[in-house]
Amino acid sequence: MKFKFIETGLKGMFVVETKKFGDNRGYFMETYNEREFKNAGYPLVFVQDNQSMSKKGVLRGLHFQRNNPQGKLVRVLSGEVFDVGVDIRRESETFGKWFGTVLSAENGKQIYVPEGFAHGFLVLSDTAEFAYKCTRFYDPHDEGGIIWNDPDISIIWPEIDGEIILSEKDKLNPLFKEAVL
């Protein structure tokens, strides 16, 4: 099997471990296969791919779309990040809960952050290239955010040397209870 799907305890959110095929030239790995995801019970359709590069200490998030939520299959092309999803589905039994894991080019792991989740990541390496597939198109008029260090969510972010670097917009993100309640 090319993929191993690992549940996170938050409904719909899972980690994907991919099989790397390596030799003296480097490696090859498949990062997505519609048939294998569907056979595993994840019939996802993606409409948009995004990529970013960030330096150490950059924290992007926690972002979501209000009316047209995006599911995201995320991975790291180079470097290392701590990636987090927060369940903001009011009807969910895990509403307000989070899951985070380290994604790196080396470990090849991916994480699926489902529709109805806020998402963010912190760059742990000197730089990181980050890529993700989306189930819906991005709409700048539909975006929402939650402050990264909200005490009600209590995400345990890894310690880094230096300070957390936020965009001006992310510095103004509201608390969880103001953003989604």
Helical residues (DSSP H) of 17-73, grouped into ranges: 34-39
63 catalytic, yes or no?
A: yes
Nearby residues of 51 by Cβ (< 8 Å), 6 or more positions away: 77, 129, 130, 131, 132
| Marked catalytic residue, from 42, 63, 112, 119 | 63
- Are the beta carbons of 135 and 171 closer than 8 angstroms? no
Amino acid identity, residue 81?
A: V
Q: How many CB atoms lie within 10 A of CB 89?
A: 18
Q: What one-character-per-residue DSSP string does 79-99 give?
A: SEEEEEEEE--TTSTTTT-EE
- Are the beta carbons of 63 and 151 closer than 8 angstroms? no
At which residue do the structure tokens 């936020």 appear?
166
Distance (Å, whole) CA 148 – CA 63: 9
Token pair recorded at residue 53: 């590069």
Catalytic residues: 63, 132
